[in-house]
Structures are given as C-alpha cells and as structure tokens.
Amino acid sequence: MKYGFMCLVAIFATPLFAQAQQSTTHATVLNVHEYENYPSTAGSNPSDAPLTAEVHTYEISVRVNCTTFTGRYDTGLDYFPSTLAVNSSVPVRVGKHNLYFSVPGYGPLRVPITKRKQDRSSPCATLNRVQITSS
C-alpha cells in the first residue's frame, strides 16, 4: 500500500516538476539602482544607539515579454551579481510574488516583486490579442 501510494505520487509529481522547469524565460535588465541605508539614531548621543546590521538594497527592473517587473533585492553582503547588469539578458522564472533569477555559482536568486506594469503599446497589444485568440 505504501509503495503504491509513493509510486502514484511520483507519477503525478513528475509532470508538475517538468512544467515548473519549463516556465523559465529570458528577461532584459532595464535598470539597477542601489539604495543607501542610513542607520537611524535617536537622542543626542549616537554612541547610545543599538548596533544595526548593514543591509544593501538594490532595486532591479526587468522586462519579460510585454511586462516590466520591478523587484527589491536585500543582502547583508556588499554583493550584486554581475550577470544582472543593465541591458543584459538573464534567465528568470516569474512567480506570483517573486522573480527567480538563475545566477551561475549562486543558484536561484529570489527577488520579491514590488511593481509590475503591462505594456499597452501597439506591438504588445497585438501580441496579447494573438495569444488570447490562439488559447
């Protein structure tokens, strides 16, 4: 009984895993902006303030097909992957709330989506109409 259930799960999970792997597409990096994080001190003597962790924040905008996604990447290290340079094409998987970039030597880089904007220009509107009618 146990083995039958495990085989059944494996049979149904394999197509789902393959489908998740196929959803990776290429995105074009439009903009990368680093934000300065300043520690806040209260009172007249900054030495009385508690220690704060240094966090580096990057905002990255990418274009996937006719949609522009903006995400925020926070890291405790002063490191931003060089593969995510402006005007570069990078493999990305778009989730409901996150972008997952494939960074060599680092693995999948999860970036929470802060904004998404659908392009309504003529080529994208035509492309969207063709996709809707062919579905």
Asked if residues 74 and 98 have their Cβ atoms less than 8 Å apart, the reply is no
- Digit-coded pLDDT (tens) for 49-102: 666 777 889 999 999 988 999 999 988 887 888 889 999 999 999 999 999 999
User: Residue 76's closest CA among 59, 60, 57?
Assistant: 57
Exposure string (b/e) for 7-37, b if CB count within 10 Å is 16 or more? eeeeeeeeeeeeeeeeeeeebebeebeeeee
- Digit-coded pLDDT (tens) for 105-127: 888 899 999 999 988 876 776 65
Q: Token pair for residue 85? A: 């340079």
Query: What residue ranges do the domains of the chain occupy?
Result: 23-36+52-121
